[in-house]
Amino acid sequence: MTAPDHLDADRLSAPGGYPFWVVDAASWRRPAAPIQALVIGVDRAAALPETVPHVFDLLLTSAADAPRPWVSIDARDLDADIERLTSAVSANPFAATIAAQVLRLTEELPVADALTVESLAYSTLLGGAEFARWRRNAAIGAGTLTPPDPLIIERSDDRITLTLNDPANHNAMTAAMRDALYEALANALDDPTRPALMLRGAGRCFSTGGALTEFGTAQDLAEAHAVRTLHSCARALDELGERAAVRLHGACVGSGIEVAAAAYRRIAAPDAWFQLPELAMGLIPGAGGTASVARAIGRHRTLWMLLSGKRIGAARALDWGLVHAIEPDT
């Protein structure tokens, strides 16, 4: 595809029919004309060429163990991986290109401002056709009853332990759980004794993310944005700074890693795995992931997680910086 001029740049966009552009990472130069399509740079020669990372949304290489911002893909799988990524973009082009835009825009913003941008985009997509299509086709069960105490709060001297407490629902983050978690984090922030805080999950996993039964139930998307940013658990956890740590085990999906990634210290059990599944729903992360995960692993690798929807295990999470240590769960 040739570089567009200003008159036809709109073809490289979701409305224009070309929501992605796969290019050679070594030779490509971003055109002067503004394009909305996400740009995937590919290094087939495993040469790790010098690039200007900010002009790309994703950088793939066949080199093993490539440094950030590259994503290493086995040369035998590279074409298939590109096909999977571009198919995911084509299936939900507005969500995919908005995700890339948010990650670009917020890379250098303060966390609170980045979360505001994410929330605005998330509310926009909640009103979009891609999410509506997912809602029509999704087989969402009723789930089990939420426990009366979805968050356990324990204090010992100058240490607080918060435990997500809905193991029957894999600690899915219902509104009740999020509200309880935010209140506990806010209390820790206001506490003049400045206690240390550990966040963990009960049962077989930390959290499988937002409760699907509650997705799309907000009637006023503007109000939902206001509440989402006022009661952001990711922002509160980030503001605790060095006092905040999380222990992660089993599934850490969607908001189950988006919130946790905002903690200063992140410890994974050997069985922990991480996934951002929102694109398949016509959405982007809405619990802080475009800020928290991107600050941990970089926006390029964050976008790869979102476009691919793949799970990454504890070892890769440690290598990428999503977690700081792997230790048996206690």
Of 234, 251, 247, nearest in space to 122 by CA: 234
> Could you give the domains of the chain?
9-91 (no CATH), 109-326 (3.90.226.10)
**96: pLDDT strictly greater than 80:** yes
pTM, whole model, 2 decimals?
A: 0.94
Of 283, 330, 247, 295, nearest in space to 95 by CA: 283
Of 217, 256, 215, 251, nearest in space to 234 by CA: 256
pLDDT given for residue 139 in this prediction? 74
pLDDT given for residue 168 in this prediction? 92
DSSP assignment letter at 161 = E
What is the average per-residue pLDDT within 253-273? 97
Picking from 60-74, 135-149, 157-171, which range would have the lowest pLDDT averaged per residue? Answer: 135-149
pLDDT given for residue 234 in this prediction? 97
DSSP string, 102-143: HHHHHTTS-HHHHHHHHHHHHHHHHTSHHHHHHHHH------
**2: pLDDT strictly greater than 80:** no
Q: Coil, helix or strand for 37? A: coil
pLDDT given for residue 112 in this prediction? 96
Name the percent of the chain lying above pLDDT 90.
84
pLDDT given for residue 245 in this prediction? 98
- pLDDT tens digits for 22-34? 999 999 888 888 8
What is the average per-residue pLDDT within 89-93? 97
What is the average per-residue pLDDT within 91-115? 97
**3: pLDDT strictly greater than 80:** no
Residue 143 falls in which region: left (phi positive, over 0), alpha (psi -120 to 50) or beta = left
**1: pLDDT strictly greater than 80:** no
**182: pLDDT strictly greater than 80:** yes
